[in-house]
């Protein structure tokens, strides 16, 4: 038997997904687990989205679409930029993707060659590093060293050491929830573009900042690539639907790669997603619940020994320094799951160097689950 396994297959696992799989095994075996491991909204997609999907199914045939997506959805996304950010955007610059995850593949493949140096922040979302590593891109992790977000100065220092081809950041960020203030974002984008560093802005947690309005990196740079998704604010994780906003020069390269890699994003999800932009009332109620979960966790986690390591400006994560409790967050998370039946994510996913001291708790669940998880952790620690 000849089995060939590439070096790419040796990519670091996404530990949050491994924790989720372990939690699901426990649940299947009859254990009542509260999961705070994955950034997944508790609520279903908005009612209008589900109704649109149901009537599309009733009508029948679901097929391929243009590789860059249905014209109606691309136009709805462009309108959203006008309404939400006051930015005029040609629908031709929008590419609909199979979640933002496919957006990363497309952006990295269309923008970078093997061996190009691309910067990300540590801690940061692990798939950036894992996808780039699998594609042979040289990932440069810039240690935030206690600062909540990547600054123009830190980026410039990394570029001086060895020139960068690109930079990718998220605001609000995962796992920290940190939001880059508009003036800092402007400096970051403008100085990157001046230095010839291509910018990718992951805006998947937009509409989920609690105290500040959203600012898109598109406002500050003509060459910026934005990646976004219906997964988080719009509660559509399993629909696998997201989008990119591309500089004109990248539209055709992304289209060519998307044609062969994915053919198109699922048509059913595309039809349904159009309605997501009309569901703000329902979605703002969901966001209000996140805000109350956030208040609860911000108050209770530090009391239990989980010091908040980041400001919780947005998204739905509490990133905690657990060094009062353990020096091995991976083992701690495993024990917490098996003994307290609460799943949370070890920091290793987000930061290979310092992650052993951190854990991330997602508060996208129900308020009752948050209360129950905290009570279980408290009993377990005693």
Q: Using the 8-state DSSP alphabet, how is residue 204 labeled?
A: T
**Residue 242 in the binding site for ligand PLP (CB under 6 A):** yes
Longest dimension (CA), the chain: 59
Which among 284, 347, 343 is positioned nearest to 310, based on CA atoms?
Answer: 347
**Residue 365 in the binding site for ligand PLP (CB under 6 A):** no
Number of residues that bind ligand PLP (CB under 6 A): 13
Piece of 64-72, 97-105, 277-285, 372-380 that binds ligand PLP (CB under 6 A)? 97-105
Angle among Cα 216, 122, 310 to the nearest 5 degrees reads: 75
User: What tokens does 349 get?
Assistant: 């996913």
Query: In the complex, what is the shortest distance from the CB of residue 45 to ligand PLP, in angstroms, rounded to a whole number?
Result: 13
**Residue 231 in the binding site for ligand PLP (CB under 6 A):** yes
**Residue 345 in the binding site for ligand PLP (CB under 6 A):** no
Select 254 or 340, whichever has its Cβ closest to ligand PLP. Answer: 254
Query: In the complex, what is the shortest distance from the CB of residue 380 to ligand PLP, in angstroms, rounded to a whole number?
Result: 26
Which among 272, 286, 376 is positioned nearest to 62, based on CA atoms?
Answer: 272
Residues 346, 364: Cα–Cα separation, whole Å: 17
**DSSP string over 166-197:** EEEEESS-TTT-----HHHHHHHHHHHHHTT-
Residue from 125, 220, 243, 358 binding ligand PLP (CB under 6 A)? 125
Q: Using the 8-state DSSP alphabet, how is residue 46 labeled?
A: P
CA contacts within 13 A on the Cβ side of 24: 7
Residue from 76, 111, 170, 209 binding ligand PLP (CB under 6 A)? 170
Q: Which 57-86 residues touch ligand PLP, going by CB under 6 A?
A: none
Residue tagged 């994003």 (tokens): 265
**Residue 237 in the binding site for ligand PLP (CB under 6 A):** yes
Query: In the complex, what is the shortest distance from the CB of residue 149 to ligand PLP, in angstroms, rounded to a whole number?
Result: 13
**Residue 338 in the binding site for ligand PLP (CB under 6 A):** no
Residues that bind ligand PLP (CB under 6 A): 39, 99-101, 125, 170, 174, 202, 204, 229, 231, 237, 242
């Amino acid at each position: 038997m000849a089995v060939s396994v590439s070096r790419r297959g040796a990519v670091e696992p996404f530990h949050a997904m491994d924790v989720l799989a372990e939690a699901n095994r426990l649940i299947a075996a009859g254990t009542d687990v509260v999961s705070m491991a994955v950034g997944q909204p508790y609520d279903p997609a908005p009612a209008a989205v589900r109704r649109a999907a149901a009537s599309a199914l009733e009508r029948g045939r679901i097929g391929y679409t243009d590789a860059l997506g249905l014209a109606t959805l691309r136009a709805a996304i462009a309108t959203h930029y006008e309404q939400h950010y006051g930015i005029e955007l040609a629908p031709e610059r929008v590419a609909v993707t199979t979640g933002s995850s496919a957006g990363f593949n497309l952006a990295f493949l269309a923008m970078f060659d093997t061996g190009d140096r691309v910067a990300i922040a540590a801690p940061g979302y692990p798939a950036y590093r894992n996808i780039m590593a699998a594609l042979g891109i040289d990932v440069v992790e810039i240690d935030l060293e206690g600062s909540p977000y990547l600054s123009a100065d830190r980026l410039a220092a990394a570029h001086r050491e060895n020139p960068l081809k690109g930079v990718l950041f998220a605001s609000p960020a995962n796992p920290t929830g940190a939001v880059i203030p508009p003036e800092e974002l402007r400096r970051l984008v403008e100085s990157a573009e001046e230095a010839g560093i291509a910018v990718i802005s992951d805006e998947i947690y937009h509409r989920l900042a609690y105290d500040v309005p959203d600012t898109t990196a598109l406002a500050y740079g003509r060459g910026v690539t934005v990646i976004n998704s219906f997964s988080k604010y719009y509660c559509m994780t399993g629909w696998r639907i997201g989008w990119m906003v591309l500089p004109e020069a990248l539209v055709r390269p992304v289209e060519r790669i998307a044609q062969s890699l994915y053919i198109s994003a699922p048509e059913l999800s595309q039809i349904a997603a159009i309605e997501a932009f009309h569901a703000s009332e329902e979605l703002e109620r969901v966001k209000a619940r996140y805000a109350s979960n956030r208040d609860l966790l911000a108050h209770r986690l530090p009391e239990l020994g989980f010091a908040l390591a980041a400001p919780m400006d947005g998204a739905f994560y509490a990133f905690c320094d657990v060094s009062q409790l353990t020096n091995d967050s991976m083992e701690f998370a495993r024990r917490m799951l098996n003994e307290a039946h609460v799943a949370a994510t070890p920091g290793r996913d987000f930061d290979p160097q310092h992650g052993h001291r951190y854990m991330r708790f997602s508060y996208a669940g129900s308020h009752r689950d948050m209360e129950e998880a905290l009570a279980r952790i408290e009993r377990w620690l005693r």
